[in-house]
Structure 1
């Protein structure tokens, strides 16, 4: 435990005084030194606000430290008081011989075992409230109380050392006592505050957030009561949208306890740039007031007062100004308790707002819009610094040198966001971008539409009507012409083979480049390779991929124009040839077929270990027969994995057990060879759908001409749509090479004693790794800080779209849904009923044939589950993202972009998925328990 510096000085002085006393034998001197020694010890137990600042956290807790800071800035606007320190708490609990045992037993209780937590908390509170408070602590508190003013009433609040921090609020976890008067009542309230460190809610919160109970200490704030006419809470950032430019104030009559406890609705006042922009007067039926004899009373307000405005407009603006000053002092948005008495504003508390999502940092002051890169890539988890650095280097735009990290791909909360502001300055991009994004993630597309449609944004963008540079247009023309040739007349039958050959040679060449160099030069080579990947892949695949997508839209539009519907559209994309991700899923089905007749192998896989996976397989009966199939699969696809564009994430060759649940589900639920037969059936269905479409067209005026044009479009689409996964396949293979090269350099750093573990390189950017190799030095504190930051950011829910003011722009799916249904984006037509299987991680997947897969997202690594699934529901995605495309290929209904689907749908519930209209209905609240 890090002790406060003032306490350390006090203890040093105490030691000196004690030592000096040993030199004296006279009774008078001993009496004097005993008095001084006692006074110093008493001063360890109390600290006045005037002697507290942010460095005092260890002795006075988060609330106390913040109050000390406020007292220094605002003086009399902060009611006077003192803190009973954590030393007093420690010495108090140390009088018990049982307390340590209580704490140890508490640590062993599971955070989800609420009845056990409740019972343990009651035992601890009863025990602490029964303990006698040591005389020296009592004397210190009473002396401080008298000096602050024994004629006043006091508010007595708990202040924990893990409270009101930037990363953890703990607000409301411990108890508060208001309008306390008299010596005995003060002491009793302090003891009750100490005991409230173990309220049920406080215990559960610490368990959930990973704080050890023994490491959290409690101080107590003793502060003069103010008896206000009005009180409330002020957020210096709008708490719902997160906008940092808006101050939001809740106000009600009487003490703020009525608002905090939820017994009254509050008036809402919002201030921006010293102007009141919103005022919402609530009906305030009750108020809590202090009683003259101590304590509080709840009063029913008169009808007239219930609808009266609690704050004047001028006072709200004045209060917002104070909020801005407080935020400026602490350096981050604040949640502030305040009150108004005799037209004077008093500040009672300020704590960081811990629920706001961080904002990507930009250099200028203009309004920016950022959209989530992770939602587009089906990867919304937090990333480590190396993964972020690699992707920012991979981005081909927004940088001065190719090996730099892009300024248009920015980190916030451990995720990456694309700054689309500059793109919106081009009218044509501004017009087309929302439509494009609707196909990737509907809610991102709608959020961008919302942003562009705002009056202030439109006005700003009208002055920025940029045109594409002629040089850029010239560079794009060859690709455009190649795309048109693919659609109109070129023989595309070799396109996928050519792409596969290109990938093979390019990966081989990059591997050679990485093997030729080492040390800092190898990191430079990695940066150069990353910078070339996207431009290289785009130029190679754009003519084919663009033709496949455009022909799909043309088939849809012409079908609706000529026939009045696009009934065959959902079948024409089924089972295309050459899709590397589909082939990966089929190959895994082959592995499942190979092991299904070897029960010993199946039993081995259930308990296999990553480190000994293949050696252990050889040792079991049938293992030698299955091993070649496994090895062949990992040779082809071992570089893949979940979240695979994050270079720090494990690959299947590193953690082969990730695939075990999928293999076991296949062998259990799918007949031998069924996955191959289903694929061929999908191909046949696509061909029949194409024939039906052409026959229908021939029945219309000029039908033969229409059918001929449509036949070409169908052929181009079917031939080229399989290439859609190749760019990612190409990038992932190169990322695997890069990861291996980085880990080789990391191993050298471990051998040299620079790093403790090879994976410590994950906590640094590429440029930082290069410097570590050059200097052969590393600051271990950086690793510890970044690990802690990562753990905090992993708990955050990343927004799809956020502005540079911190406003989260939320949008709802466009689907019209029945009452009680969950809305999303319809991406694969059809309706299916079945039991939901909620899967959060691929390595935990247990899916039976006919189950409906409910997941946060699906990326290529999830493809092996699709032959089992009867339907798909994801929280992320759009028409052209992985899950949607693969669902159409397999012909299963799918709805994506369903907000919090994995929470709102329970595992085992029977649900209906309507992939045509875009909603999910829960048919049975009861869940089916599956093994």
Structure 2
């Protein structure tokens, strides 16, 4: 690296198995007697491309030659037994200004943390200056009036307070140094540097194995406009994971059947996996990913406008979609392909409708109480793979409907618009059916009394006596049993389960003078008739979808009942706080983590106190504050390692070994390499001081543990035993319960 032009302090590198006598001999031959040294570990566990823990073991600074042996032993003993370890002896530079820099030119990102004095304080997570770069320019800087740092004075390291001094020129030089190092090695780099007597030194460099940044600085657009209609309020983990899986599969199938190349779909799988996102228990569309997905088809601008109308979006933004544009081949075949599909579309939809109706009817004859867990899981997988996967056809139907609506609604008066929107729907048919059922049931005094008493057992016994009423009741449930408030949430009881609600509904309809809805005839032209046909079909399939979801819910509850009997879970509703892959049998497992279920339930209750906005934008990877009114600003820090975790806190103001299994969330002031073992036992980490390049941040990312750094007063605010929610993406910590 010297020959490549880097200003590096002179150093010697040894295998840790080298005899100290030889180490001392070479060191004395290389350095002057008064030369101060830095002794650093270099292990394959901390300095490889695959894993880089950034000083996970030990560094000794300002060491005199006469004290070399003691420092050599300390560093050697810090290395793991049996590991390929080395020790570097380096000229010690008592820098006046030092820090750490991360750079990844592929992402056009770099971050620099700096402090007056030695680099040691930055690595250990002391409060420091933050500089974030994008496209070689300082995008963001965070500084304050003064800092504490570690300085080398009178042959010892001391803590010293100093005021902030503008050093932008040095920071820009550090950026250029990091860029040069990355070019030299050909991979993103994590460097330590120092500035001394007018010179910038590279102290050490290692590859970045876990990026401190989000995938890109592209803005993320979250909008709940349409999805909030189907999934209003808080939803349970089972429903959210099911919906994400369904959207992923459905829209990949849609684009594949529209002619988009399989390789392109696989290459952009993350887009489909993140069409919807869960934020504090609420479901949002990730509209930036919707725009990217739509750009893969011809006619992007038209499709974008139609989608924004169909979803009633609050956000209507422009996203760079150049790299997702369709191939020339797809552009040539797309229109003929659409015409061909349109010619046979009615037949295709009739078949699909019949398949769903047959499935719904057959499910009424299932003896669920005799189904084993495996049988339930096979049924669920069959429904998902053979019926729900075809739901992309309904999206095609809706696309045609919205295209026609956009064309027909131009320059129409309000009266003409109302005529256009006057079409038959499953909802009006349901109202008519419920009106007739209610009157028939309540005309029978005994049945009406059972409804007033909400006595399901008596109601069902009476229906056996009156077969015509029983048939009318069963027909209604078969057609509309899945239609109820929050019908797409798997955790919501349907009308079959909630007899009390059913009774109230029937009695309300019977007591009111409701009339069957009759639609007035319209003199529609061909396009208007076509629009109404597709619009009516849309409502029909929405009802069928609700009934299919109700079948899945019944199968899920049957699995839950068996797991309760077998002792896997405590309560049947616990299943709604599990992941879809676990429940449907995609992810096999021998044991269920009930502790995780309990935490998810507490999270669910905690999120009820939140009122996040209907839409928001994440700019440059920075999340807006989405907390409830009770939470204070002090709960906000820097998201240093992505992910979320909920668990009991252990507050350690100083290093100590906690009792086994006594905590999940580690809360501390700052860490050094000696904390690594405790951090690895944590499920989440909260640190008062530091930045995204501090030791705690690097280790958390490497271990995949959600972490928030820079939460002021965390060790005073929280106490051991508090139940904390740590969000490493948004840089937020919330106390669920103390």
TM-score by length of 2: 0.46
**Which of the two has greater strand per residue?**
2
**Which of the two has greater helix per residue?**
1
**Could you say which structure has the greater relative contact order, defined with CA pairs below 8 angstroms and 6 or more residues apart?**
2
